[in-house]
Structure 1
């Protein structure tokens, strides 16, 4: 490898990856910390499991509606400014969760949070595609997406610590203190993004001119023939993009359902050790998920294909099925959640690397946003459907069974899904005469 390119890769990873990982960590923490608040928040607000599930679900309404428009704006104004704007707005709304007073205000706060953070994940994926290709992109995606399981593994103990000290130290309801502190962290991070991220290698003053040229040329050379000539709309019309979106939908439903409801399940099984039970059922399984996120992406990075999802997805299905039969056994629940988290978070970075392999430029912004938008419907189902089925059946066996079925269908569809084929944008007559792009 060219020494300048090797040096540029090292600098880009050291400079960009910590910020992106921290951004995703805080984002998912502010999204899922409601699960850690639920055991004390729900009784305090007089909120039922169905009402809680509705609020969790409606987060995804604004998120879904604004995901594609947000990424359209991002690729127009630049990732640095737009990602900073998203972090600042979601941080303010997340902190305002501390002021909710009942089911109505809780639902309203969740809807506003979805609107505020719409476009973040596909925006970061598009940003990564501007800096890394091929195996480098696979490595970065695996390391980057480790923030999602870590936000649950570390976020559980951190959130419970804030809840405890909010009550003991400051004399306020602990869950309100937690929302305020974790929301403020996102506001601070928004300014970090604004001042420290760089949109393209050519603008990176922390690279030498030779490193800028080497990284730019490598990214151009690493694209498939015809990449960079696809439109935002062409990715939205691609049948394979839609297939990837359905795969992600079937994957996100169990992912979010486990994150939002397992703390409630654990507290119900061990009511006398509620916060300690939540720490165990979140830290151990999701720490394994973080390891799987890096490990499986390294195994599968040689060839980005959707079939690499099948094995981890089926492991997750087996884990979720085990949760359905755990009954009153807390250790069995922990083992089931561990298998589910290992499989799901091992699959997700491979999924994004495969989905983005045939996309570039404006097409990447459109295609990735569409996939994440459809996948977010799984988040809605995770909140509302899980809460509704829990109220209907009186237990979590039926919801866990539906999650397992979703993962089996995800594996079957992934086995028959290839890369995203797109038609190049036709040049305008003026461009054809000039021979321009």
Structure 2
């Protein structure tokens, strides 16, 4: 490449800062909107749980299986979807994903029983497969490593925004639908929120841009500097990362981060799928707009968690420490919410749930900063897909584990408490990332002196 010091200069160039600023303003709002409606359509089934049991005779076991089978289908089709995204481009493929999953989600309004519910949950997993890792790959193509956790944190804001806005929306749609004679509340919720995804998918096709080199909103200097910085990163990724699909799937590092992500998703979906019913039980009220408003509180607090962690978890050491601490607090607060629920402390239970959500929302951006530091090309498509697909099986395990424990013991508190154990294991695994000495770590150090890249140029 170029002479020593040039790579360092590029990383701190005002031209690069301008390119990143323009790209974030253009791309990130659409990315957040896409995942807001995706997360809403993935989890709004929690608001329909009680109504589906009453109106369609869906048992608690069938609900738990249907809620989780989404992730099995998602896991199976995720890597193929990532490879197709590389072939057709992020703009077209992410738009296709949003439109098709929106149509499937709207069809939940026509659920007749357990079979149709489970089939539609499976189809939702198939159609949405590839969205999350596709966005991770898309951001890794656009933003340098030192900016990536901040962008991942902005992306992760979609989860709290989805639930902060979506919880009252879902509750309100249910309340409105229940006052009509031609549709039930849960049917109206599924139909309206599914169609929102279709609209978002159409908008994404016009707003997203596949790569910096295709961006009309960047000038030539900005395109050049951004391309050169991303090339510098790919040099160090090639030193430590696997090359190709099969090498990525055999990589011990990839499987290590898959285990961390699996533990995270156990906590995320163990809380999310049952949050409306848990809040309903704590408040002693049926699911409606009041429960929806209270359910939005943890996600509102989570916005500040995402922002704060994204701003301060800059270096590798800080990310490792933040990740371990947040996993511990996630486990502690989930266990605390179980204790509060068992003892009738409604306010304390809601506080613990809020702190648990704030904790696990801050972990996601940190978790994804590691695989994107050593995976590129088709290895990134396969490796990121593997981490997300198998990690997301935690979304299958969580509701079924909880349902099994509740059925075996008759204690909902023990069902909740079981989900608070694995975050402690994840904290240990996060500390264990210290043994991964990646060349790309030099690109994650915001305050370190220039280091030499494998080709002889320098970075910071």
Q: Structure 1 length normalisation: TM-score?
A: 0.92
- Aligned pair count reads 422
Q: Deviations over 1:228-283 (max 9, x none)?
A: 98322222111011010011111101210110112112223333354355335421
Shift of 1:336: 1.4
Q: Does 1:172 align with 2:183?
A: yes
Q: Does 1:204 align with 2:215?
A: yes
Could you tell me which residue of structure 2 aligns to residue 354 of structure 1? Answer: 370
Could you tell me which residue of structure 2 aligns to residue 102 of structure 1? Answer: 113
Could you tell me which residue of structure 1 aligns to residue 142 of structure 2? Answer: 131
Structure 2 CA distance for aligned equivalents of residues 399 and 353 of structure 1: 32
Q: Deviations over 1:278-312 (max 9, x none)?
A: 33542111211221112112211222754431101
Shift of 1:223: 4.1
Structure 2 CA distance for aligned equivalents of residues 420 and 260 of structure 1: 37
Structure 2 CA distance for aligned equivalents of residues 246 and 380 of structure 1: 15
Residues 413-428 of structure 1 aligned to structure 2 (within 5 Å): 413-418=429-434, 419=436
Q: Deviations over 1:65-116 (max 9, x none)?
A: 1111111221222111111111111011001001001111111110110011
Change (3 A) 1:233 1:170: farther
Could you tell me which residue of structure 1 aligns to residue 444 of structure 2? Answer: none
Contact 1:257 1:379 in 2 (8 A): yes
Q: Deviations over 1:122-170 (max 9, x none)?
A: 1100000000012211111111111112212221111111112223357
Change (3 A) 1:354 1:250: same
Could you tell me which residue of structure 2 aligns to residue 308 of structure 1? Answer: 322
Which of the numbers 142, 154, 160 marks the counterpart of 1:149? 160
Shift of 1:226: 4.6
Contact 2:276 2:291 in 1 (8 A): yes
Deviates more, 1:39-48 or 1:314-323: 39-48
Could you tell me which residue of structure 2 aligns to residue 372 of structure 1? Answer: 388
Deviates more, 1:29-38 or 1:347-356: 347-356
Q: Deviations over 1:395-418 (max 9, x none)?
A: 222222211111111111111125
Contact 2:174 2:288 in 1 (8 A): no
Structure 2 CA distance for aligned equivalents of residues 220 and 169 of structure 1: 58
Q: Does 1:263 align with 2:276?
A: yes
Contact 1:306 1:351 in 2 (8 A): no
Could you tell me which residue of structure 2 aligns to residue 297 of structure 1? Answer: 310
Q: Does 1:191 align with 2:202?
A: yes
Which of the numbers 397, 400, 404 marks the counterpart of 1:384? 400
Contact 1:267 1:277 in 2 (8 A): no
Q: Does 1:398 align with 2:409?
A: no
Contact 1:89 1:187 in 2 (8 A): yes
Deviates more, 1:226-235 or 1:33-42: 226-235
Deviates more, 1:217-226 or 1:117-126: 217-226
Contact 1:5 1:211 in 2 (8 A): yes
Change (3 A) 1:112 1:244: same
Could you tell me which residue of structure 1 aligns to residue 132 of structure 2? Answer: 121
Contact 1:133 1:223 in 2 (8 A): no
Deviates more, 1:85-94 or 1:283-292: 283-292
Could you tell me which residue of structure 1 aligns to residue 52 of structure 2? Answer: 41
Q: Does 1:331 align with 2:347?
A: yes
Shift of 1:383: 2.3
Shift of 1:221: 2.5
Q: Does 1:411 align with 2:427?
A: yes
Structure 2 CA distance for aligned equivalents of residues 111 and 194 of structure 1: 25
Could you tell me which residue of structure 1 aligns to residue 448 of structure 2? Answer: none
Shift of 1:203: 0.7
Shift of 1:363: 1.7
Q: Secondary structure at the match of 1:198?
A: coil
Contact 2:285 2:291 in 1 (8 A): no
Segments of 5+ residues of structure 2 without an aligned counterpart are: 1-11, 440-460
Q: Does 1:84 align with 2:98?
A: no
Change (3 A) 1:67 1:392: same
Could you tell me which residue of structure 1 aligns to residue 40 of structure 2? Answer: 29
Q: Deviations over 1:307-349 (max 9, x none)?
A: 4311011111110010121122211210111121111001111
Q: Does 1:162 align with 2:173?
A: yes
Q: Deviations over 1:172-196 (max 9, x none)?
A: 1011011011111111111111122
Residues 241-280 of structure 1 aligned to structure 2 (within 5 Å): 241-272=254-285, 274-276=287-289, 278-280=291-293
Q: Structure 2 length normalisation: TM-score?
A: 0.87
Contact 1:313 1:408 in 2 (8 A): yes
